[in-house]
Amino acid sequence: GEDVEQSLFLSVREGDSSVINCTYTDSSSTYLYWYKQEPGAGLQLLTYIFSNMDMKQDQRLTVLLNKKDKHLSLRIADTQTGDSAIYFCAESRDSGGGADGLTFGKGTHLIIQP
């Protein structure tokens, strides 16, 4: 079965690093994704990582993947007020069955303290 788990809230001070964690169950997922949802908007792709990679860095974003533990994390360096949003972890459903679409977690609300 497919299930993606993440904590619902994370509060950080402006300027600190934010680390959002996620666990997933489908070990055959080829790609794992992070999406961002701002108030009143749809989901926007932030970054993704191929399953044979351990780390991917893109400017302030660092994705870490521990495939053995099925654990994915997103680190946002120097967190700004504009980073306040809901962050969704997602896994692809292309586990050999040719399924399309992504399975999402419930999302982590990132709250920035001044």
Partner 1 sequence: DAMVIQNPRYQVTQFGKPVTLSCSQTLNHNVMYWYQQKSSQAPKLLFHYYDKDFNNEADTPDNFQSRRPNTSFCFLDIRSPGLGDAAMYLCATSRDRGGLQKLFFGSGTQLSVL
DSSP-based helix, strand, coil % in the chain, nearest 5: 5, 55, 45
Tell me the window of 12-20, 53-61, 62-70, 87-95 that interacts with partner 1 (CB under 8 A).
Answer: 87-95
Per-residue x/- marks for partner 1, 34-73, CB under 8 A? -x----xxxxxx--x-x-----------------------
Q: Provide the Cα torsion 8, 114, 48, 61; round to 10°.
A: -140
Judged by CB, which is closer to partner 1: 73, or 103?
A: 103
Which of these ranges, 15-23, 59-67, 68-76, 88-96, lies near partner 1 under the rule CB under 8 A? 88-96
